[in-house]
Amino acid sequence: MTHTQHASDTSLSMALGEDYPDIRDSVRRVCADFPADYWSSLDEREDYPTDFIKALTDAGFLAALIPEEYGGTGLPLRAAAVIMEEICAAGCHAAAGHAQMYIMGTVLRHGSDEQKRKYLPRIASGELRLQAFGVTEPTTGSDTTQIKTRATRSANGYVLNGQKVWTSRAEHSDLMLVLARTTPANEVAKRIDGISTFLIDIRACLGRGLEIRPIKAMVNHHATEVFFENLEIPADALVGEEGRGFRYILDGMNAERMITAAEALGSTRWFLRTATQYARDRIVFGRPIGANQGIQFPLAQAYIQSEAADMLIRRATAMFEAGLPCGEQANIARYVAAEGLWNAAEACMQTHGGFGFAREYHVERKWREARLARIAPVSTNLILANIAQHTLDLPRSY
């Protein structure tokens, strides 16, 4: 039985319309204090939105998925998706804080009771930031099973050696999850075995075998390279069982897909709102440019795709909350949302014409951010390969 068949046999409750209206209104009020010029200024300086992250934390939004017993609000994943959607729809940059939502889930689901008591309340309050996730490596890319970063046992715990790349926000985080091999790949039965997850205190490790270097990039995503050289970490840095870390990461990917799909949906709505207003107001040859089908049709297409993405995200989060297998649905929602976002960004840029390149309109900044959604945190090609092989049962291409 496929995941789709399984879902059709189960009664699911899926809200329609503008669900969680109180949360949406609250997010909009917070975002109103951080207008487009705030983000443009950060973009020019390549700076981190510290004030914005603090405002989200103080409002309890970044602790939405942390249970109440650990100081969070214990909301369902759908509510977290709504928060991210509204942040992006307001023109703000949710990626600066989104990792905390899905990275935290690894600690919550697989961490020890001591780790949960030690870290989750302080993450919920904002005392600690958990925004960095060291997975990708320069020579392995998306093939996580072939990572070369090693954690070898020592008298007091582990010694970490290796390199990570595109680790976002490591310079602005207190804690970092790191994936490392604890058993060589040639000594395990399955490629996914022998990989472990560690929760590292960045503040305690900097200068002691941990080095972080920023990466200049097309978007202000606070990307870094991270280097581990004989970094000693305590035994209690291990999350869950040794050798099962890859499974823990897979366990959290569905939530990541849904949250980032919701962000893409929110940004799509920003582009549509911005483009349609400009198309109504801009007069060329004696009439609004929005009267031209060359402007109308791409915007209408992007709107249709946004509505499809909205329903797919709602379905995926409903299945997640019902405890059903939802990998296929999470990937489909993420794919449709990312493609819809890019089409909306292109339509908005084309509607503005030359003015789309002018920074004062803020379109070019959001356009650059939109392109990233087709590559990270998961590329659309990987999603297509996953659907082809696991849903359509086609042979592996590699």
Joined together, the tokens standing for residue 186 give 């040639």
DSSP secondary structure of 341-362: HHHHHHHHHHHHGGGGGSGGG-
Least confident stretch, 8-12, 118-122, 152-156: 8-12
In the chain, % of residues over pLDDT 90? 89
**Higher model confidence: residue 3 or residue 162?**
162
How far the first Cα of the chain sits from its last, in Å, is 25
Domains of the chain (ranges plus CATH)?
A: 3-129 (1.10.540.10), 132-243 (2.40.110.10), 247-391 (1.20.140.10)
Query: ∠183-189-192 over CA atoms, to 5°?
Result: 65
Residue 250: its pLDDT value, please? Answer: 84
Work out the pLDDT band at 2, boundaries 50, 70, 90: very low
Question: What's the pLDDT at 65?
Answer: 96
The span from the CA of 126 to the CA of 368, in Å, is 29
What are the backbone angles phi and psi of residue 15, rounded to the nearest 5°? -70, 145
At residue 10, the pLDDT reads 57
DSSP letter, residue 104: H
- pLDDT given at position 101: 87
* Cα–Cα distance for residue pair 274/261, rounded to 1 Å: 20
Q: Tokens for 372, please give them.
A: 């990233």
The pLDDT, as a whole number, for residue 7 is: 43
Asked whether the beta carbons of 106 and 177 are under 8 A apart, the reply is yes
CA dist., res. 184 & res. 195, Å (int)? 9
pLDDT of 275 over the 80 cut: yes
Q: How confident is the model at residue 94 (pLDDT cuts 50, 70, 90)?
A: very high
Sign (positive or negative) of CA dihedral 113, 119, 121, 123:
negative
DSSP H helices in 136-244:
202-205
Secondary structure class of 222 (helix, strand, coil): coil
Q: By CB neighbour count within 10 A (0-12 exposed, 13-18 middle, 19+ buried), where does 177 fall? A: buried
Bond from prior residue into 377 cis (ω within 30 degrees of 0): yes
CA-nearest of 309, 380, 373, 342 to 98 is 373
Long-range Cβ contact pairs of 328-332 (< 8 A, separation 24 or more): 328/2, 328/3, 328/4, 328/387, 328/390, 328/391, 329/3, 329/4, 329/7, 330/253, 330/254, 330/255, 330/257, 330/258, 330/261, 331/257, 331/378, 331/383, 331/386, 331/387, 332/383, 332/387
Residue given tokens 């581990």 in the structure block = 228
C-beta separation of 234 from 198 below 8 A: no
Q: What is the crossing angle of helices 245-281 and 363-372, to 10°? A: 150
Q: CB neighbours of 303 closer than 8 A, spacing ≥ 6?
A: 272
Q: Which residue has the tokens 């107001």?
A: 281
Sign of the C-alpha dihedral, residues 230, 234, 235, 238?
negative
Mean pLDDT of the chain: 94
Q: Looking at residue 398, what is its pLDDT?
A: 61
What tokens does 114 get?
Answer: 């001591």
Residues 6+ apart with CB under 8 A from 346: 298, 367
For residues 203 and 219, the answer to whether their CB atoms sit within 8 Å is: no
Share of the chain above pLDDT 70, in %: 97
Collapsing DSSP to helix, strand or coil, 168 comes out as coil
- Determine how many CB atoms are found less than 10 A away from the CB of residue 150: 16
Q: Is the pLDDT of residue 36 over 80?
A: yes
> What does each C-alpha distance from 16 to 19, 21, 251, 353 come to in angstroms?
7, 12, 27, 35
Write down the residue that tokens 């300086």 correspond to: 45
The Cα angle at residue 358 between residues 346 and 272, in degrees rounded to 5: 35
Measured CA to CA, the distance from residue 118 to residue 122 in angstroms comes to 7
Confidence of residue 310 (pLDDT cuts 50, 70, 90): very high
Q: What is the pLDDT of residues 342-384, one digit of tens each?
A: 999 999 999 999 999 999 999 999 999 999 999 999 999 999 9
What pLDDT is attached to residue 243?
97
What is the arithmetic mean of pLDDT over 70-96?
96
**pLDDT confidence bin for 281, thresholds 50/70/90:** very high
Q: Encoding tokens for residue 205?
A: 């490790």
pLDDT at 11 over 80: no
| φ, ψ for residue 139, nearest 5 deg | -100, -5
